[in-house]
A and B are shown apart, each in its own frame.
Chain A
């Protein structure tokens, strides 16, 4: 086992790490700031279940009580659906509290726009809905 992990890691790096610059439909790092990811707690206000990316919308109160309406990009709906999160899950939890780990857009982009990494609707189930931009280890993926 001990010798196996470095091998696997090398293989994973070879497969995913030195990635080709050929395909660029979506460069998450070009659009979002992975150094400013944060936990957000708010109210689910909308879901745009559309290609190529779905968007979840939520209202978040800042420290002064002012409401910020965020739009967070997620992965493609089909991938979410195959991995256990459907449009119906969002609809069933509309208007209810939710938590999300999200990374805001880069400076110069639209205000209150970001990308969601993980979220919990009011049903308490953790849902992987985006890229793990911060490369968080599993034990740090919680709210």
Chain B
């Protein structure tokens, strides 16, 4: 028991340190972007049925469309629990699994010589809304713990995200236009390589920040950026989603995400919802705090 307590104290201490660091180092918007708590128990009843959270089983074979292709349709969470999680409640850490950075690390971008100052994104002001677009909206769900909804048809894959609100159309088996207009999601085509859907995106607006969401920093694309995404539904309950960013102007070598695991929403009542960045009380508050800080410095 004493050994157990020692282990628990050690673990709780480490969690506290990690969480404290996260709080300091994480000036981001998220429902719950800090380190998940592990170990311990909240006394009394807690809303949310967190005590029922568990790692989903594989769930059975991969569903298929009438044409035999894998059906990716579903609401997918960036974890292994098939539901939105909350980092403050100590669920099984394995339920949070999206990828293991020790096994499949996501390195920082390797910039071409002399371009980092131009393309590296330095910082954002508090209150600034997150820009939706390719591929960051997908990568950023790591911190939002929010779902990605996929709706597949033979001609299109529709990708929906709640925050930052994003609607992305992926066109199957067609060529990119010869001179596509730049947009935040770019122009995306897709084709099947076996049971993997390969997305190919170009023409991404130069203001769309790339961010891995896992601590690799952010950078802006050139007009030569090319994003390749590979989606593989590995069972009824899981898919993996891997992203490669190529940019011969900005990057010395392609940036590759880990093959991140997503799990299928299990609650039939878990329906689509909206999270608009509408700036209710916050901008005024940030302005007030900034003015106060400026006044204090002037004294």
Contact = CB atoms under 8 A, between A and B. Distances in A.
B43 A142 contact: yes
Interface stretch (B30-38, B110-118, B184-192, B236-244): B30-38
Interface stretch (B174-182, B225-233, B248-256, B274-282): B274-282
Interface residues of B, number: 99
Contact of B34 (A23, A108, A131): A131
A41 interface: no
B28 interface: yes
Given A19-B215, A21-B123, A25-B129, A109 B292 contact: yes
Interface string A108-143: 111001000110000011111001110111110110
B89 A128 contact: yes
B43 A19 contact: no
A125 B47 contact: yes
B217 interface: yes
B63 to A, nearest CB: 24
B289 A10 contact: no
B88 A132 contact: yes
Contacts of B14: 5-6, 9
B84 A83 contact: yes
B21 interface: yes
A76 interface: yes
Interface in A81-127: 81-85, 89, 105-110, 113, 117-118, 124-127
A83 B47 contact: yes
Interface of B (DSSP majority class): loop
Contacts of B282: 26, 31, 53
B217 A21 contact: yes
B211 interface: yes
A20 B213 contact: yes
Given A19-B22, A84-B47, A139 B40 contact: yes
A26 B28 contact: yes
Interface residues of A, number: 71
B289 A31 contact: yes
Contacts of B90: 138
Contacts of B285: 31, 105, 109-110, 113
A11 interface: yes
Nearest to A29: B23
Contacts of B275: 51-52, 76, 78-79
A17 B35 contact: yes
A124 B97 CA distance: 31
B128 A24 contact: yes
Given A75-B32, A84-B49, A50 B280 contact: yes
A2 interface: yes
27 contacts: A5-B7, A10-B101, A15-B142, A15-B214, A15-B215, A20-B213, A20-B215, A23-B124, A25-B126, A25-B128, A26-B282, A28-B23, A29-B23, A51-B278, A52-B276, A52-B279, A55-B280, A55-B281, A76-B31, A82-B270, A109-B288, A126-B46, A131-B88, A132-B19, A135-B15, A135-B20, A141-B88
